[in-house]
Amino acid sequence: MASSASKIQTVYEDVLANYLISMARTVETSVGSALDALLRPNLEAAAQLSSKVFLVEPRVNEFEILIDDHAVRMLRTGLLDDEEIRRVVASQKIANDLERIGDLAVNISERVISLAGMNVMETPRDLEPMAGAVRGMLGRSLGALIFRNVVLAGEVLEADDVVDRYRDQIFEHLLSRMTEEPGQAAPQLQFVLATRYLERIADHSTNIAEDIIFWVRGLDVRHGRTRMVVEEANYPEKRN
């Protein structure tokens, strides 16, 4: 039979996982609402963001505090093996990235409210595919978290360059519009800021994917070593 200590440890792990997954789903919903409104900025969309994004942010912050407190409680038991320690450390880092993504959803929502007041009728080309790419990265990173799936995490890392290309294309387009139509500089600047926030969500999604790989495989894939290490971890037969 399992010892009392191991049963308690299992409960701790389940609670940590539930906190983290609940936080992830809350953040994903906030980002989805913000992106939907950004692609069709109007007064109605701006009004709906109050309940869908702004009122949810305190809950996201509370999740981060709960996860940090629970992680410290788990470490204090002194009963964790190496993988469990990685899990706790990764969970704290993931919670921090999720909190920042929640903040970025708020930032995007603020841009939507500004745009709604300017009666903007047209969004930049490539904004919708960029938003779709960012949404996909976030969704796969959270799927990797829920299922501890290194393959999904690797797909997130590979998608980061796509988002960067969209950002550059949109920026060039907006800069050209501002030069040709100075009177439209204010709304174009709002879109410039929004694409920057989208890029940062992609960056935080990448961080989450890296932390999943660290947790599951014990591999540090940051700082330029990502693709090689992930490919070897996912497809070891390629090394033969």
Helix residue spans in the chain (DSSP H):
4-39, 43-49, 57-76, 82-116, 127-147, 150-180, 185-217, 226-234
Rounded-to-integer distance, Cα 134 and Cα 207, Å: 13
pLDDT digits (tens, 9 = 90+) for 170-212: 999 999 988 998 888 999 999 999 999 999 999 999 999 999 9
**What is the per-residue DSSP string for 82-113?**
HHHHHHHHHHHHHHHHHHHHHHHHHHHHHHHH
Task: Reply yes or no on whether the pLDDT at 37 is more than 90.
Answer: yes
What would the pLDDT profile of 106-135 be if each residue is shown by its tens digit? 999 999 999 988 988 789 989 999 999 999
47 compared with 74, residue with greater pLDDT: 74
User: Would the pTM of this model clear 0.85, i.e. be above it?
Assistant: yes
Q: Which residues, other chains included, contact 74 with Cβ-Cβ below 8 Å and sequence gap of 6+?
A: 9, 12, 13, 16, 80, 84, 88
**What domains lie within the chain, and their CATH numbers?**
4-239 (1.20.58.220)
How distant, in Å, are the alpha carbons of 71, 73, 222 from that of 12?
Answer: 9, 9, 28
Taking the C-alpha atoms of residue 104 and residue 116, their distance in angstroms, rounded to an integer, is: 18
Burial class (CB in 10 A: 0-12, 13-18, 19+), 211: buried
